[in-house]
A and B are shown apart, each in its own frame.
Chain A
């Protein structure tokens, strides 16, 4: 089992604030890796590095052996076609209806006929548990439905890697469970490499094959859910227990 994504010694700061401080992480192919850590601790920044929205000051990001930090826009876009991403608030284009949103990458990068596109869109929507919503506008959808549509759009091009930016934040417990199940099923059915950012402790043990703990700009622990639960690292223990006492300072 090789590492499909390899992050080597990443450094990134915004002004005086160091967000990534020599971060190393290997993401295994066709597995779900959950990255946990505090709010505002650089998890989203890390995700944006993996897909090339941000560039590190130092370090390498290897996708299938290619270092994307050195690529120009055109080459980077070729790499990005391997990816799908579900944003925190789904980031659906609100000037387009649901069908057009899911069809967007297909229209952009394929020469499919209109009929094929419509069938593909319906198929992708069905795989996230939605039917007959193509004509709806994003503003008419609930939070959970927006995420489903966002996921349908992310997998429209059948990518190999899907990134999830806090997929369950802001959802009620039932919808959280439904989205978690959707992530597990999608990952299994499409043999995806998934990277999920979360601080929802209940979810991470359900969906993650591997769990990595981000703390002060570094990955301090990376293992299976069982390994993490038996961790002796005081930071990990405090985070998983949700305790105020411990090495993590609140303020």
Chain B
């Protein structure tokens, strides 16, 4: 009985901590929204973050996008060949990339690259009192540090998704047409037949939501770091894990609403 109530106690505490955490992230979001539209706008900071989140992530996104498209073509080909529908490979690759894999894989890569860096950088600023120094100089830390990162996350993740969609389809085309010998005209025709512009738009909308999630979580974890170098490490890990889980879970619900 005692052991049972102990387990229940722990479960309850975990749920409470989780709910509290979500509440705090939403409060941070509200604070970001209020500071975002209050001049002066720190354009230089925003562009710097956009470069970091966007431009510097292009390489990994191209790499993951290409190989995902390639492997999808390979797997799809073996499946479709069983009922002689190899021509559908192009359409499925394109649908899968634009609706699902483009946004999700891009966001996960950006989480690993930029979300973790946001948590580590803000975490270090917290433990070395740089965030306190901002407050002391009457400069709002949310405006200075978090608003530019969230803007960069929301704007750049969809743009990177475009790159990922495109290189994924290109990778699929290369494997399908040049390695597996599907007719290139049929391959492309099936893409335009199966993929609607709305598939692409909805995928990009999802990517913007994921960009918001990963930047907010990264900033939240970094901003609330405590406990020196160990704390920075913990904040970084938690940011990546929490953001990745949140992206995958919210992906289901966004998809259920959109498609």
Contacts and interface: CB of A to CB of B under 8 A. Distances in A.
A108 B139 contact: yes
Q: Interface extent on A, as a size class?
A: 20 to 34
Nearest to B133: A91
Nearest to A108: B139
Interface string B135-146: 111111000000
B130 A94 contact: yes
A67 to B, nearest CB: 18
B138 A85 contact: no
B132 A53 contact: yes
A93 interface: yes
A88 interface: yes
B133 A80 contact: no
A94 B125 CA distance: 9
B137 A91 contact: no
Contact of B136 (A73, A78, A80, A93): A80
Contact of A73 (B132, B137, B140): B140
A16 interface: no
Contacts of B125: 93
Interface in B105-153: 125, 128-130, 132-133, 135-140
A26 interface: no
Contacts of A225: none
Contacts of A18: none
Interface in A189-203: none
A64 B119 CA distance: 38
A150 to B, nearest CB: 9
Interface in A28-51: 48, 51
B129 A104 contact: no
Contacts of A78: 138
Given A89-B128, A91-B128, A109 B138 contact: yes
Nearest to B48: A95
Contact of A77 (B132, B133, B138): B138
A149 B114 CA distance: 30
Nearest to B121: A95
Contacts of A109: 138
Contacts of B135: 53, 80
A105 B129 CA distance: 16
Contacts of A84: 136
A93 B138 CA distance: 15
A87 interface: yes
Contacts of A126: none
Nearest to B40: A108
Contacts of A80: 135-138
A81 interface: yes
8 contacts: A87-B129, A89-B129, A93-B125, A93-B130, A104-B137, A104-B139, A108-B137, A109-B138
Interface of B: 125, 128-130, 132-133, 135-140
Given A80-B135, A91-B129, A94-B128, 13 more contacts: A53-B132, A77-B140, A84-B136, A85-B133, A85-B136, A91-B128, A91-B132, A94-B130, A104-B139, A108-B137, A108-B138, A108-B139, A153-B137
When A and B form their complex, which 10 residue pairs have the shortest distance between CB atoms, in order from nearest?
Answer: A77-B138, A91-B129, A91-B133, A80-B138, A87-B129, A85-B136, A105-B137, A91-B130, A108-B139, A81-B138
